[in-house]
């Protein structure tokens, strides 16, 4: 049987180097983000994350209440400014929530213990 010799082409070598480069850069970025963000958010608990989600929901509800209450046939400038402020608050809250979600999914933030250690849930004496 004839043995096929596979020769690497410059393009294949370039692609392999590019992939390796990007993998190394991504690892370095992940490590930097984990170190930097981790100093500000040492551990995220389920309760804290849900509390933020609920707060975003409340801000969204306030914005939607204002949208529904608006007299769209003849809106006045004050009402429009208030609506704009509520929309901006909602958008900021939502973007902040999504940024935190990304940090959790990317592993930049540790997941903390949502339930404090007690003898009952640690297997210790009761």
Q: Taking the domains of the chain in order of start, what are their residue ranges? A: 24-109
Beta bridge partners of 111: 44
The phi, psi pair for 125, rounded to 5°, reads -65, 150
In the predicted structure, residue 36 carries a pLDDT above the cut 90: yes
d(CA 1, CA 125): 71
33: left (phi over 0), alpha (psi -120 to 50) or beta: alpha
- Are 37 and 103 a contacting pair, CB within 8 Å? yes
Of residues 24 and 14, more confidence is placed in 24
Under the banding of pLDDT at 50, 70 and 90, the label for residue 42 is: confident
Output DSSP code: residue 1. Answer: -
Cβ neighbours of residue 96 closer than 8 Å, sequence gap 6 or more: 52, 56
Average pLDDT of the chain, as a whole number: 88
pTM, full prediction: 0.73
In the predicted structure, residue 85 carries a pLDDT above the cut 50: yes
Two tokens, residue 74: 């003849």
């Amino acid at each position: 049987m004839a043995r096929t010799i596979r020769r690497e082409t410059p393009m294949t070598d370039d692609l392999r180097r590019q992939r390796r480069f990007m993998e190394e850069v991504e690892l370095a970025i992940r490590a930097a983000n984990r170190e930097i963000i981790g100093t500000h958010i040492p551990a995220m608990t389920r309760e804290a994350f849900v509390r933020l989600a609920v707060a975003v929901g409340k801000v969204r509800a306030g914005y939607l209440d204002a949208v529904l209450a608006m007299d769209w046939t003849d809106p006045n400038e004050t009402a429009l400014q208030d609506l704009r402020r509520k929309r901006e608050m909602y958008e900021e809250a939502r973007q902040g929530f999504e940024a935190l979600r990304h940090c959790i999914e990317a592993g930049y933030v540790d997941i903390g213990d949502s339930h404090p250690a007690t003898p009952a849930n640690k297997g210790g004496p009761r």
